[in-house]
């Protein structure tokens, strides 16, 4: 019983800290898609990722039940969904140019694939028109997965750019 209470307190503290930082969190397991938004691709589980936006550099893995990272590619954005303990959901969007929801949104500037010691990855680079206290305007997100070239092609087509 004590363990359950400790987990509930931990989830509430994480939720509160993320809300204070301006990160969109909820207790809804489904993504908040906009009216008329069309899902082009869905990946239930991204096994690892990294994010670089100076002065921070973050790396994470997605062990089931603790932190699960899902990916949606829509006709308007790249939507990353993080489920913590399958209770708390955090989402982060990188919008395609001209399709953003708000003025302070991250806009996708480039999408590429690569490979390093951790394996094949999809890299999505975005920029924010607004400077935030905890990160720079430029944001690089690497998602480690199988067949990232296929996902890169979908994003490129959604952006209106065809890459060879």
**pLDDT computed for residue 102 by the predictor:** 66
Per the CB < 8 A criterion, the answer to whether 111 and 159 are in contact is yes
* More confident of the two residues 102 and 65: 65
Query: Does any domain span residue 25?
Result: no
Its domain, for residue 57, covers 37-159
Query: Does any domain span residue 28?
Result: no
Query: Does any domain span residue 21?
Result: no
Query: Does any domain span residue 115?
Result: yes
The structural domain count of the chain equals 1
- For the question of whether the overall pTM of this predicted structure is more than 0.75, the answer is yes
Query: Does any domain span residue 15?
Result: no
Rounded CA gap, 44 and 22, in Å? 25
Residue 163 has pLDDT above 70, yes or no: no
Residue 101 has pLDDT above 80, yes or no: no
Strands (E), 62-118: 67-74, 77-84, 88-95, 106-116
- CATH code of the domain containing 154: 2.30.29.30
**pLDDT computed for residue 164 by the predictor:** 40
Query: Does any domain span residue 69?
Result: yes
Residue 161 has pLDDT above 70, yes or no: no
Query: Does any domain span residue 11?
Result: no
* Mean pLDDT, the chain, integer: 87
Query: Does any domain span residue 164?
Result: no
Give burial (CB, 10 Å; 0-12/13-18/19+) of 3.
exposed
Q: How do residues 113-140 score in pLDDT, each as one tens digit?
A: 999 998 999 999 999 888 777 778 899 9
């Amino acid at each position: 019983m004590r363990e359950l209470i400790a987990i509930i307190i931990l989830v509430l503290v994480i939720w509160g800290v993320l809300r204070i930082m301006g990160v969109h969190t909820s207790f809804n397991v489904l993504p908040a898609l906009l009216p008329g938004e069309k899902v082009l691709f869905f990946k239930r589980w991204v096994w690892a990722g990294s994010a670089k936006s100076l002065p921070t550099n973050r790396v994470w893995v997605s062990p089931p039940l603790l932190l699960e990272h899902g990916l949606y590619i829509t006709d308007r954005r790249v939507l990353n969904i993080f489920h913590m303990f399958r209770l708390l959901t955090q989402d982060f969007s990188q919008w395609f140019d001209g399709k953003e929801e708000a003025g302070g949104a991250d806009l996708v500037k480039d999408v590429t694939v690569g490979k390093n010691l951790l394996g094949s990855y999809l890299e999505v680079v975005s920029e924010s028109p607004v400077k935030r206290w905890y990160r720079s305007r430029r944001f690089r997100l690497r998602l480690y997965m199988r067949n990232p070239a296929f996902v890169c092609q979908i994003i490129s087509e959604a952006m209106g750019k065809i890459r060879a």
